[in-house]
Amino acid sequence: MLYIGTSGFSYDDWVGPYYPEGLSKRDWLAYYSREFATLELNASYYAVPSPRSMSQMAAKTPSGFLFTVKAHQDMTHKRQDNEAVFASFALAMQPFVEAGKLGCVLAQFPFSFHATDPNRRYLVTFRELLGALPLVVEFRNRQWLTPSTFDYLRRNGIGFCCVDEPRLPGLIPPVAEVTSDIAYVRFHGRNSQKWWEHQEAYERYDYSYSRDELMEWVPKIREMDQQARLTFLFANNHWQGQAVDTARQLKLLLGQA
């Protein structure tokens, strides 16, 4: 099952490029869900959402719609004395679970999260603290890209997040791996000039993919989808709605238009 969507949906700069002028913010998710069957929620990285807000979001989307939810920063960056955050986060996910609309939890670890034995053990602790919630991890440090890491993830039922981003030293290359029953790819854009040096965070994701660039992923995605129960593709080049165009192109290239 192939699901294609965007990383986030509640961007003011999408008004005009995507959302019609005058459309209430309350209706943005419903509008989005008419075109896309999945959404990656990123706001949960900054604040653990309430179960009530998750229930409201679930109600605004049709049957079969799936959410993936980014883990709170204390879960991926603090990594000590954070059991209470895990408990609150898991509680917030219950409305999605009960509605059958939770795809997985995405844990995005920082570059400083190196491939050490204590950090490997923390991945298992993370998995255990989430309980039955499915987990996918995104590494920023390329030290993790080894066969032993992929085997470790498979043994512990943890999915691997593939990424497309600038081809810069130290960044993760476009590796395609499936380590659980969930395949996952995030398209961050290839804005190499603004990746490290920018005044505003959005500048890093100001990028429009060409058809040929996305075509590089098509055979990889088809192979990944054969290995997985669910395959998620999310466009994170969100500035001024460019992610919508990327997701639309992917749907066309993969026969979902």
- What is the band of 130 on the pLDDT scale with cuts at 50, 70, 90? very high
- Cα angle 187, 158, 40 (rounded to 5 degrees) comes to 35
What's the one-letter identity of residue 97?
V
CA distance 75 to 172: 21
Closest CA to 176 of 242, 238, 233: 233
Number of domains in the chain: 1
| Cβ 150 vs Cβ 180: under 8 Å | no
Residue 18's Cβ-count burial label (10 Å; 0-12, 13-18, 19+) is: buried
Q: What tokens appear for 176 in the block?
A: 């395609």
Would you state the pLDDT for residue 105? 98
**Can you give the CATH number for the domain in which 142 is found?**
3.20.20.410
Predicted pLDDT at 169: 84
Tell me the whole-structure pTM to 2 decimals. 0.95
**Which residue range is the domain that position 102 belongs to?**
2-253
Place of tokens 């999408």: 14
Burial classification of residue 208, based on how many CB atoms lie within 10 Å of its CB (0-12 exposed, 13-18 middle, 19 or more buried): middle
pLDDT band at 196 (very low <50, low <70, confident <90, very high): confident
- Kindly report, residue by residue over 147-177, the tens digit of the pLDDT: 999 999 999 999 999 999 998 888 899 999 9
CA 189 to chain CA centroid, Å, is 14
pLDDT confidence of residue 171: 85
Spatial CA neighbour of 71 closest among 152, 181, 158, 189: 158
Q: Please tell me the predicted confidence (pLDDT) of residue 61.
A: 98
